[in-house]
């Protein structure tokens, strides 16, 4: 009975590690892409820049 619990726990740990993103880094990449002319900024992206 203990073995399945360990598997579930390791899966949830992997998901939390995988889901972490650096918001500042993402904003920087979006700004760089927009400056380089790669795609237009969406209203969602523009709203995220207002912090």
| Domain residue ranges of the chain, discontinuous segments joined by + | 21-51
Contacts of 41 (CB under 8 A, 6+ apart): 30, 34
pLDDT tens-place string over residues 37-51: 766 667 777 787 775
**Tokens read off for 12:** 């949830």
Record the pTM. Answer: 0.34
Q: Model confidence over 20-38: pLDDT tens digits?
A: 678 888 888 888 887 877 6
Please give the C-alpha separations between residue 31 and each of 15, 21, 47, in angstroms, as whole numbers: 28, 16, 13
Rounded CA gap, 35 and 41, in Å?
10
In which band, very low, low, confident or very high, does the pLDDT at 18 lie, cut at 50, 70 and 90?
low
Measured CA to CA, the distance from residue 32 to residue 50 in angstroms comes to 16
CB of 42 within 8 A of CB of 36?
no
Question: According to the model, what pLDDT value does residue 37 have?
Answer: 75
pLDDT of 11 > 60? The answer is no
């Amino acid at each position: 009975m203990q073995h399945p619990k360990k598997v579930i726990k390791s899966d949830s740990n992997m998901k939390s590690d995988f889901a972490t993103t650096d918001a500042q880094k993402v904003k920087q990449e979006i700004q760089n892409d927009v400056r380089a002319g790669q795609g237009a900024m969406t209203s969602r992206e523009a709203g995220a820049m207002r912090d």
